[in-house]
Chains A and B, each alone.
Chain A
Amino acid sequence: KQEVTQIPAALSVPEGENLVLNCSFTDSAIYNLQWFRQDPGKGLTSLLLIQSSQREQTSGRLNASLDKSSGRSTLYIAASQPGDSATYLCAATQGGSEKLVFGKGTKLTVNP
């Protein structure tokens, strides 16, 4: 059974700082891993999807990496802005299915 863990649970940084969010998963037999952003009381916005055959994906100031052998993914945010403040969720597919298993998220606060 897939389990996804995100560390840290919360992170507070000053504006302009580069930061890394961590995600680990127990079952390396994934189809893909996806990073989402969730604002308070809202649904999820898809940020990046990394397929199992890929090592990283980039979109603007965001870069996500995937290391299946170690069961880890990182989300790198460059030059953080107050508007980046949100909860970031990592989700990995489970055991040969397309079902996504979510971590509990990292709550990011970027201070002006």
Chain B
Amino acid sequence: GAVVSQHPSWVICKSGTSVKIECRSLDFQATTMFWYRQFPKQSLMLMATSNEGSKATYEQGVEKDKFLINHASLTLSTLTVTSAHPEDSSFYICSARKGSYNSPLHFGNGTRLTVT
């Protein structure tokens, strides 16, 4: 199988603080990982594409200085929400492919972020 692990599963933080979310591919190497955000009753929206060893590619409207992505190894990508605000409260999910672009995308279990 292909397992993607995401940590933490939930986090509560105060406004102005930063939060780091980890995404690991446990049994395969992933040169590319994807970070999504999901608001209640909404679809998943791609935030950025994380590329191992290079800068992430951000979608239009996503602030790269606020959502810092680091893909330091072939099995780990991190998303840091800097200076979090209540409007950043959301469900963040990472995903990775085991193989080429025509391979299924495998998702972590997501991180529920609540900013108070």
Choice from A34, A43, A89, A100 contacting B110 with Cβ under 8 Å? A43
Contacting pair A103 B101 (CB below 8 A): no
Given A31-B101, A89-B43, A105-B43, also A46-B106 (CB < 8 A): yes
Specify the chain A residue showing the minimal Cβ separation from B100.
A98
Choice from B91, B97, B107 contacting A45 with Cβ under 8 Å? B107
Contacting pair B104 A43 (CB below 8 A): no
Interface flag for B46 (CB, 8 Å): yes
Interface residue SS majority, chain A: strand
Complex Cα–Cα for A101 and B105 (A): 12
Choice from A44, A99, A103 contacting B107 with Cβ under 8 Å? A44
Complex Cα–Cα for A102 and B105 (A): 12
Contacting pair A104 B102 (CB below 8 A): no
Choice from B44, B49, B109 contacting A42 with Cβ under 8 Å? B109
Contacting pair A99 B110 (CB below 8 A): no
Interface residues of B in 76-116 (CB under 8 A from A): 91, 93, 95, 97, 101-110, 112
* Among B34, B101, B105, B107, residue most surrounded by chain A Cβ atoms (within 10 Å): B105
- Beyond the given pairs A34-B104, A43-B108, A46-B107, 17 more chain A to chain B contacts, judged by CB atoms under 8 angstroms and listed by A's residue number, are A41-B110, A42-B110, A43-B107, A44-B93, A44-B95, A49-B103, A89-B44, A91-B44, A91-B105, A98-B101, A99-B34, A99-B49, A100-B46, A100-B105, A103-B43, A104-B42, A104-B43
8 A–B contacts from the bound complex (CB under 8 Å): A31-B102, A41-B112, A43-B6, A46-B107, A49-B103, A91-B105, A99-B46, A104-B42
